[in-house]
């Protein structure tokens, strides 16, 4: 899955899971992430060129997720993901739909027809960690501060 150039900084995120084999099936199978080092307590995943490390925790130690209202959706306050180019986002949506993935928030377009137009979706892994995948019609809008563009 590595898609970043050699000189681009990689992001590292360690997160809790309650079942390593279910995490392997989701990140490795459903999302197609390769694996790196691992032990009986953790697995490294190549998450679109970034290092995710799933650490095994007891179910009672896994945090619950609060939500915030955004566009009429209950967006999980704790989530992570990647920003894909539009075509790769659409390919991922097709893959997830073909796998009959249950969406936390189904794919939709925000700010349609505006400069800040973006596509987004939310899924959760088997441990309840939330992931957001998004794409900007114009990636230059990623950090734009002009609210009139949205």
Q: Which long-range contacts (CB under 8 A, 24 or more apart) does 33-42 make?
A: 33/1, 34/1, 34/2, 42/14
Same fold, 1-60 and 63-150: yes
Q: Where are the domains of the chain?
A: 1-60, 63-150
| Cα–Cα dist 64/85, whole Å | 30
Query: In the predicted model, what is the mean pLDDT of the chain?
Result: 93
Write down the residue that tokens 């609210």 correspond to.
147
pLDDT for 64? 79
End-to-end CA distance of the chain: 31
The average pLDDT across 55-72 equals 91
At 16-35, the pLDDT tens digits run 999 999 999 999 999 999 99
Which fold would CATH assign to domain 63-150? Answer: 2,3-Dihydroxybiphenyl 1,2-Dioxygenase; domain 1 (3.10.180)
Q: Kindly tell me if the per-residue pLDDT of 2 is higher than 60.
A: no
- Within 10 angstroms of residue 52's Cβ, the number of other Cβ atoms is 23
Q: Among 120, 144, 115, which Cα is nearest to 134's?
A: 120
Query: Which residues lie below 8 Å from residue 44, measured CB to CB, with a gap of 6+?
Result: 35, 36, 37, 38, 51, 52, 53
pLDDT for 148? 81
Q: Kindly tell me if the per-residue pLDDT of 74 is higher than 80.
A: yes
> What is the architecture of the domain spanning 1-60?
Roll (3.10)
Q: Where are the beta strands (DSSP E) in 77-129?
A: 79-84, 105-110, 118-124
């Amino acid at each position: 899955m590595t898609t970043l150039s050699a000189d681009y900084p990689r992001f590292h995120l360690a997160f809790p899971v309650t079942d390593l084999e279910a995490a392997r099936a989701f990140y490795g199978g459903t999302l197609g992430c390769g694996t790196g080092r691992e032990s009986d307590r953790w697995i490294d995943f190549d998450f679109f060129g970034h290092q995710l490390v799933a650490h095994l925790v007891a179910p009672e130690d896994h945090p619950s997720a609060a939500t915030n209202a955004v566009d009429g959706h209950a967006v999980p306050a704790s989530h992570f993901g990647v920003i894909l180019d539009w075509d790769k986002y659409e390919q991922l949506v097709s893959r997830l739909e073909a796998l009959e993935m249950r969406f936390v928030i189904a794919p939709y377009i925000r700010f349609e027809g505006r400069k800040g137009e973006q596509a987004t979706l939310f899924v959760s892994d088997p441990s309840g960690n939330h992931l957001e995948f998004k794409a900007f019609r114009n990636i230059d809008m990623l950090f734009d501060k002009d609210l009139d563009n949205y």
